[in-house]
Each structure stands twice: as C-alpha cells, then as structure tokens.
C-alpha cells in the first residue's frame, strides 16, 4: 500500500468500532425489583412412611419374618381403601449386625450375631382424616421404624396463582415507591420472572403415635406456598 494512503486506512479502521458502538441500541432507563407473595391452603393429601425391621440369625430367616409382617401391613392398607397406585416400596435393606470386643493389643474383634432386614413402604393417603387410624393400625401389625408423615396438596395451582398475584402486587408497590422517591414514573414491564417454593414438610416421628388402644392424634394444619417474582420496569 502506498505510504500516502496508510494514515487514511488506519483512521478508517479506528472509526469502525466507534461506528458499530453508535449503531447499538441504548437500553432505556429501567428499574428491577423483587416481590414476594404467600397463600395458604389446607392439605388434602398425606404421605406416610412405614418401615418394618426384623432380625434373625440368618438373612433368610430375617427376610421371611419381614415379608410376613410387611404383607400384613400392605393388606391392611388395602383394606382401608388405599389404591395400589398409592402404595410404593421405598426400599429394602439387608445388613449384618456385629458385636465388637476390644483386644488387649487395642484392636477390635467382630462377631456376627444377626441379620437385620428393613422394608419401607410409602403410603399416599388421600383421606387425611384416616391418618391417625392408619398409623395406629400399622404399629399394631408390626411397623417399628419410620412413621414419618408429611402433608401436601394434590393440585396447588389455584393457591400458587393467589401467591403470584400477591408477589406481583408487592413488586409493583416497591417499584412505585422507588420511582416516586427518584422523581420518575414507571413505564411498561420489560421483563418478569417467578420462582415458587413448595411448603416445607412437617414430619411426625413414629414415637408420636406409638401408643396402645387409641388412634394417633394427627393435626394437618395448613400448607403455605410462597412465590417470589423479579420485575423490570421501564422508567419515563
């Protein structure tokens, strides 16, 4: 390239990025706020975890004893009107149990004394008024571990809608306050997103219903659903 054209080429090259930047759209002034909304509803479903643990000298004997006990529990659940789709085996565990003795040299000697078999059944209960009666019956039939119960809702959509509306209203109120304090006004919504939080489970342990002669007192209470939204407003 002739030397007389070199300064012109360099000037054009330097001008291109500036021109490109000038062509990029400048985002409008905006404000981003968050809002939170909460709505509650009575639960209409309970999930109960029932475990049977049996111990014997051999794994086979422990398994047989466990199978008999769990079969009786499952039969009782069906007798209460619980459908097959609401009964699910959550896990079966077979483990040896040892006794340990200390040796004079500081070590330990393990002696196998028994095998333990634990079978856990998850029960989805759609008539939560029967929860206490079912727990009591399960203990009578040999359930000796687990017993956790959590309450939920089969379809929380309407409750989540209420929470979303409250969250958006909260975000808009915050945005109006901030805009007024800054001496500007709100424009259109540029972007909005939400995130919902399921209610935290409220477990009840087996020891809470391990009583003879009466059904376990169970209180379902309310489930609280929380929605958080983030809203970006244009400023005028």
Over residues 110-136, the pLDDT tens digits come to 889 999 999 999 999 999 988 888 888
Write down the CATH superfamily of domain 45-100+110-152. Answer: Protein of unknown function (DUF541), domain 2 (3.30.70.2970)
Other beta carbons within 10 Å of 13: 9
Q: What are phi and psi of 215, to 5 degrees?
A: -70, 150
Whether the model clears a pTM of 0.75, i.e. scores above it, the answer is: no
Task: Tell me: pLDDT of 215 over 80.
Answer: no
Segments of the chain assigned to CATH 3.30.70.2970: 45-100+110-152
Distant-in-sequence, close-in-space partners of 59: CB < 8 Å, separation ≥ 6: 94, 96, 115, 117
Task: Tell me: pLDDT of 95 over 90.
Answer: yes
Is residue 191 a contact partner of residue 171, using CB atoms and an 8 Å limit? Answer: no
Pick from 155, 154, 149, 126: which is nearest to 219 by CA?
149
Q: What are phi and psi of 10, to 5 degrees?
A: -65, -40
- Selecting from 3.40.50.1100, 3.30.110.170, 3.40.50.970, 3.40.50.1370, what CATH number does the domain 26-43+153-201+212-236 have? 3.30.110.170
Segments of the chain assigned to CATH 3.30.110.170: 26-43+153-201+212-236
Instruction: Say what the pLDDT of residue 38 is.
Output: 94
Instruction: Say what the pLDDT of residue 100 is.
Output: 87
């Amino acid at each position: 390239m002739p030397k007389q054209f070199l300064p012109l080429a360099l000037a054009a090259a330097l001008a291109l990025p500036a021109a490109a930047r000038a062509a990029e759209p400048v985002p409008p002034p905006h404000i981003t706020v968050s809002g939170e909304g909460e709505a509650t509803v009575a639960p209409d479903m309970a999930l109960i975890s029932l475990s049977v643990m049996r111990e014997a000298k051999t794994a086979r004997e422990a398994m047989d004893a466990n199978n008999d006990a769990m079969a009786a529990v499952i039969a009782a659940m069906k007798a209460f009107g619980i459908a097959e789709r609401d009964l699910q085996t959550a896990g079966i565990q077979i483990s040896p149990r040892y006794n340990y003795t200390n040796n004079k040299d500081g070590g330990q000697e393990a002696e196998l004394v028994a095998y333990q078999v634990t079978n856990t059944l998850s029960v989805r209960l759609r008539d939560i008024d029967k929860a206490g009666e079912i727990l009591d019956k399960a203990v009578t039939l040999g359930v000796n571990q687990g017993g956790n119960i959590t309450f939920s809702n089969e379809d929380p959509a309407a409750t989540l809608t209420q929470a979303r509306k409250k969250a958006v209203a909260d975000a808009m109120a915050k945005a109006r306050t901030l805009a007024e304090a800054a001496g500007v006004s709100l424009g259109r919504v540029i972007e909005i997103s939400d995130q919902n939080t399921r209610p935290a489970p409220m477990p009840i342990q087996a020891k809470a219903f391990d009583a003879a002669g009466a059904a376990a007192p169970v209180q379902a209470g309310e489930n609280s659903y929380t929605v958080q939204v983030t809203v970006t407003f244009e400023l005028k």
